[in-house]
Each structure stands twice: as structure tokens, then as C-alpha cells.
Chain A
Amino acid sequence: MEWFDALVQGVLLGGMYAQYALGMALMFGVMRIVNISHGDLVILLSLIGISIATAWGLGPLPVLILLVPLAVLMGWVLQKAVLNRVVGSDPLPSLIATFGLSIALQNLMLQIWSANSRSLPGHGIESQSIEIGGIYIGLLPLIVLAVATGLTWGLDLTLKRTRFGRALRAASADVEAAAMTGINPRAVYAMATAAAVGILGFAAVFQALRSTVAPADGPAQLIYAFEAVIIGGMGTVWGAFAGSMVLGISQAIGFRIDPGFGVLAGHIVFLIVLATRPQGLFGKALS
């Protein structure tokens, strides 16, 4: 029973990691852009969301509706203004550019919002739960999981079925060949980053509801997003989702063994996957 509870809580935790990992799957897994400022963008969006909520007295849902389009716009500007200048076969320039961006964002946020921890008022939603046979399932984590599943499904279909998805896959496979067929890789990349950061808009609202955010918090969750993408396999969206679940469940079971061991348990599973199946659970082995 105790272990089944751990499994349930692990799946719920995985839902939260999936929201972080989806944007990463698109940027890192498909476009091969290492975005170090991934976590800082979440915090920036959270803080903007909290300010919107306080200024206009809005609940979580209206904040989400306002924040996601803003996030999409931010992602588009980010790719157009910064990342398109450094993207290429060499991953190093994008890594350095986003590393700098990460530091700049943290200091900017410190200037605007100070070092205070803040959270988004959830009007009770964060404290509700459903009890099934002695196991409590929090309503908020359940919503997080449902939203993550929906986003994964939508993103996967977009990549597989739409013209934009095909163009993006083509551009990331071979930029020059894609350009010869009439695709504008930079425009496609800008839209992809807009989608990736848009997903972070969801993650931002839920993060501010379940915990607190402060300007220096960004990098802490970054590692989980990377791990989930690598466990699942580069380039597959459902892979990133599965990777998040593996990570969440490993951590939850680790926490039951010892509260200090949970995070490490996640890292160990990640290392085992990397050692035994470097292409990830759903990735295709490189020929």
C-alpha cells in the first residue's frame, strides 16, 4: 500500500516534470539548442503571472489565459533576437548565449521583484484532494498531470501531422536540404521556440501555485528537464513524457527509502539509462 502510494505520487510528480521537459524536448531534442535559461524563463513567467494576479485580482485560470500568449511571444522574440544568430551545427554558441541570458534574466528579476519568495494565490484549489482507498490524490497535481498529457498529445500531433511539424523536422535533420525545398529554417525555428516557451507558460502558473518562486530558483529544475529528455530519447515528445514519469517515480520511491535519497535516486536511474541505452527509451540508435 505504502509503495503503491509512492507510485501514485511519483506519477503526479512526473506530470510536473513533463511540463518542464516538453519545451526542452522541442528545443534540445528536436532543434538541438541547449537552452540554459529554460528554468529562468519559467521563473520570469511565474513572476509576471503573480504580478498580473495581484494587480488585477485574477484567479489562476485567467492568469494562465493571459500568460500563455505572452510566453509564446517571448519565445518568438527570443529565437528571432538571440538564438537565430547562434544556431548551427555547433551547439556551443547557443549554450554560451543562453548561459549569459540566464544570468542576465536572474539579475533583471532581482532588480524588479527583489529576492522575496512569492506564490500565486490559488483560492483553495491547491489544497483540495480526492481520497481513493486511503490514497490521497491532490487535485492540483492531477490537473498538472492532465494538462501535461494534453500538451504532449498536442505537440506530438503537431510535429507529426502538420506542415509546420514536417518543416521543423526537416530543418533540424538537414538545414541546407530543407532550405532548398523552400523552407525558411529561421522562421520555423522561431515558431518552434515560441511553442516551447508557450508550454513553459503552463509550467510557470503551476509552479507558482504549488510552491513559491524567487529570482534565483530557475536553474534548480533545469536538470530534471534535461534528464527527462535524455531518458526518454532525443527527438520524441512522448519519450520526454515517459522520461518525466520514470524520473518522478524513481524520485518518489527514493523519497520513501530516505527523504535525502529521492533526488539522488532520480539521478542514478538517469545514469543507468545513459550507460545501458544511450539513445534513450524511445530514441532511435544512431547508425
Chain B
Amino acid sequence: MSYYNRLVKSGLRPSRRSVLKGIGAGLAASTLGMPAYVRAATAGKIKLGYLSPTTGPLALFGETDGYTLQKIRALLGGQLQCADGNTYEIEILDRDSQSNPNKASEIAGNLILNDEVHLLVPASTTDTILPAAEQAELYETPCISSGAPWQAVIMPRGGGKQTFDWTYHFFWGLDEALNTFVGLWNHLETNKKVGMLFPQNIDGETWGNDEYGLPAPTRKAGYEVVVPGYFQPRTNDFSAQIAEFKKQGCEIIGGITYPDDLKTFVTQCNQQGFKPKAVTVAAALLFPGGVEAMGPLGNGMSSEVWWTPAFPFKSSLTGQVSSDIASQWEADTKRQWTQPLGYSHALLEVALDILKRSSNPLDRAANRDALVATDLQTLVGHIKFDASPHKNICKTPIFGGQWVKGEKWPYDLKIVDNTVNQLFAPQQPIQPIAW
């Protein structure tokens, strides 16, 4: 129970909160009696706590967060015009979770208890969102997040059996990512034999699980699945798996790996004369850097797609479409756009929309009510919490994509499958890998 919310419940107006701290100070005492319009040009200061992994191994995910935040800050100019007619000062407190769940938890607690933020916004990766959401739920602070499969944010907190009052999340789910893989393969003419690669870690065990992992929907779609056993991350030799895949005659490779293991694997595939028609893996092919690291073998690899510049939706903040946002990023950073960029933008869209609609942006409960009522078209799709599949979740679209030779950059990600969400048509059909 937070001290702030106890104050709210004891009947004190939240807008007087800052004044409470200053009791005894002459200035504060003298302003108490004055009407609001005399006190300041703005109706108060909204504090937004923003948490993202800007350093550490997950820094690639946080990269677009920091960039987008800087853009939005410039756009706002420190002020927010809200639906209640008032103009508020807005302060965005951005913190680095250092890719560490313990740090994320500590920082979230600090933002809630000491900085007294009115809305908590953890961006990107389970390691940042899950601990922050737990703190927000504990201290009754509204929390909106995105950038991790929703099961990872809901299930570890017992979300299978219960709902939450303060924490909401929008993203696609693991099950949909898996169906995207199967959707991709359905477009190819193969012998329907899939060899799978899973590392011995949490990701690998989740993806490789026989009941809810990748083998389940693949078998259901009529494919034969070959799993030669889990490998240790940073394995230096995949010839055993390749021998097994060759023996079974697999024409498709699926699973989850990191770039180093995938490069070792495909290099050895080439050496061993094993040439599958499709290599579809999660994680390794998310960022263009990982695909470029594959060398010429990157051409034709496929993966799930969160967001690309081909998304047709408009930003509710700037009116830009996805391709504008991507080209602005490329012009500013001189680097290729990455998939989390769209989500970094959409998350701030939703957060600011909540504050604008709130009946009192300086009150956590009012912000929570505004959060629940969210109904907004963002860069990544429509955000509305309509209790499906879970009260605290809004699912966003996911597609199947293939990396092909690019014009401006070495490789471009093209949407080639829309089995899971028919929101818009694929850009082009999937091609078998030309080894």
C-alpha cells in the first residue's frame, strides 16, 4: 500500500500533495489559499516514470526507447494539454534498468515511492517489464508496458488464475509467434519435415516445449518434427544435429537461437552440404545487425515480425506513418531501422493519451481508469483492453517476414505472411533460400 494512495484515501486532494511536503515554508503556506489560476501558469506537474534497458546485453532493445523519448520530449516542450481543459507541466523521469531484473525492480520502486510518479511506463524486454509491473501492482500505481510476449509478463505473476488492477500490457503472444512460423512454412513446397534447434535456457525450453512450444502447432499443421536435443548456447560444433537433420531429410529449420549459434550452424550446414529451403528462427534475426553477421547466408532467412515501415497505421501524436518514423530514425542515426522502434513510439503514444484523457492526471486512480478505457489507434495497431485474451492485455498484430537483399541497407525485412492477422496483405511471397 503506497503512502501516496493512503493520502488519497484519507480525503486529501492529490493536487495538494506537493504542498504537504512544503508545509512550514512561508511561500507554500501563502499559496495555499490562492485560487489555482493565480498559483502558476500550469495546473501542476505530471510525473511519468520511464524505464528501459539502455545499457547491458539488452541495450539493443532500449536503443529505440531513448531515441523516441528524446523526440517526444522535444514535441511536448515540457507541457501537456489535457482533456480537462488544463495545461500541465510534464516531467518524464527516464531510468536505465541495466538489463537487470533486480535493478529494474529497485528503480521502479524508487520511481513510485520517492519520485511519486503518476504513471509508470516500463519499455522493452521481460527483464525490465515484469519486475516493474510487480512493483506497480504492489504500490497501486498505473503501469502501461509493451515489448515482451504477453505471457511472459502475465503468467509468472499467477496471471493464469487472476487479473490485475494496475498493470496493463500490449504486445503479441508466444502462441501467435509460433503460428506465424507455421504460416510461413505453409507457403513453401516442402516434404513437411522440420528440424528444430533449441538452446538449453529459458527461451529454448519455452519454445521447445512439446505441449505449448513450437513442436505443438507444427505437428498440428501436419508436419513431422525432428528435435535432436537441446544444445548449450555458444556450442562450437553443430555437425551432430546436421547429421541427424540430413538423415531424416528435413527441408525446414525452425526454432530459437542467438546470432553466434546460428552463424556457426549455417556455416557448418554449408560445409556439410545440408541446404534446407527455409531457416526460420526467433531472436537471432530480430535486428539487422544479426542478419548482416550471417554474411551472404542472411539472404532468405525468415522470422516473426513485430513492426516494419510497411505498417500502414498513423501515429496519434505526430501524424506520421511508420515509414516516416523509420526514415527519420535512419536520417538521425545513420543506421537501419529496427523492429522495436514502432513499439517505442506506440508506448509513448498510449502513455500520453492516458494522461490527456484522465479526469485528473495528478491522481493515480484517475490515470488507471483512463488506462483501462484506452481506445487508441497507434503505430503498431489498435490498443483497447477488451478482456481478450486477458483483462490486462491487448494483443497487437504479428506477421511472418523474410530478410531479402536490400536497396539502401544490406538486408531488408519484408512481410511475407499474414496468417495470424489479416490486417493488411503481405508485401511479397516467401522464397526458398538460395544456398
Contacts and interface: CB of A to CB of B under 8 A. Distances in A.
**Chain B binds chain A:** yes
Interface of A: 2, 5-6, 9-10, 13, 16, 110, 114-119, 121-122, 124, 126-129, 131, 136-141, 210-214, 216-217, 220-221, 251-252, 255-256, 258-263
Contact of A262 (B240, B260, B271): B240
B269 to A, nearest CB: 9
A217 B236 CA distance: 13
A126 B287 CA distance: 23
Interface residues on B, range: 35 or more
Nearest to B63: A114
Interface of B: 55-60, 200, 228-232, 234-241, 243, 258-261, 263-264, 267-268, 270-273, 287, 289-290, 292-297
A127 B267 contact: yes
Nearest to B239: A9
B121 to A, nearest CB: 23
Nearest to B56: A115
A220 B241 CA distance: 21
A61 B132 CA distance: 49
B239 A211 contact: no
A142 to B, nearest CB: 10
A128 B228 CA distance: 25
Contacts of B260: 117, 211-214, 217
Contacts of A259: 228-231, 235, 238, 240-241
Contacts of B268: 138
Nearest to A131: B273
A255 B272 contact: no
A129 B296 CA distance: 17
10 contacts: A9-B239, A110-B59, A116-B60, A116-B293, A117-B293, A122-B295, A211-B263, A252-B239, A255-B235, A261-B229
A28 to B, nearest CB: 21
Interchain residue pairs A-B with the least CB separation, the first 6: A138-B271, A127-B270, A117-B259, A255-B240, A116-B289, A129-B271
Contacts of B271: 126-129, 136-141
B230 A117 contact: no
Contacts of A136: 271-273
Contacts of B200: 260
A131 B234 CA distance: 26
A212 B295 CA distance: 10
A260 B293 contact: no
A119 B259 CA distance: 10
B237 A262 contact: yes
B237 A252 contact: yes
A15 to B, nearest CB: 11
Most B Cβ at <10 Å: residue of A2, A16, A211, A256:
A211
A255 B104 CA distance: 38
A217 B235 contact: no
A252 B230 CA distance: 15
A128 B243 CA distance: 17
Nearest to B258: A117
Given A117-B258, A127-B297, A138-B267, 18 more contacts: A5-B239, A114-B59, A115-B59, A117-B290, A118-B289, A119-B295, A129-B271, A136-B271, A138-B268, A211-B260, A212-B259, A212-B293, A214-B259, A251-B236, A256-B243, A259-B228, A259-B230, A260-B229
A214 B233 CA distance: 14
Contacts of A212: 259-260, 263, 290, 293
Contact of A211 (B55, B267, B292): B267
Contacts of A252: 237, 239-240
Nearest to A248: B237
Nearest to B259: A117
A259 B260 CA distance: 17
Given A214-B260, A260-B231, A114 B241 contact: no
Nearest to A117: B259
Contacts of B292: 118
A117 B257 CA distance: 13
A211 B265 CA distance: 8
Nearest to B291: A117
A10 B240 CA distance: 11
Given A116-B287, A126-B270, A141-B271, A262 B232 contact: yes
B264 to A, nearest CB: 4
Contacts of A217: 234, 260
Given A140-B271, A260-B200, A260-B231, A13 B236 contact: yes
A130 B230 CA distance: 28
A6 B240 contact: yes
A252 B239 CA distance: 8
Contacts of A5: 239, 243
B273 A9 contact: no
Contacts of A138: 267-268, 271-272
Nearest to A139: B271
A255 B237 contact: yes
B393 to A, nearest CB: 29
Contacts of A141: 271
B255 to A, nearest CB: 12
A256 B240 contact: yes
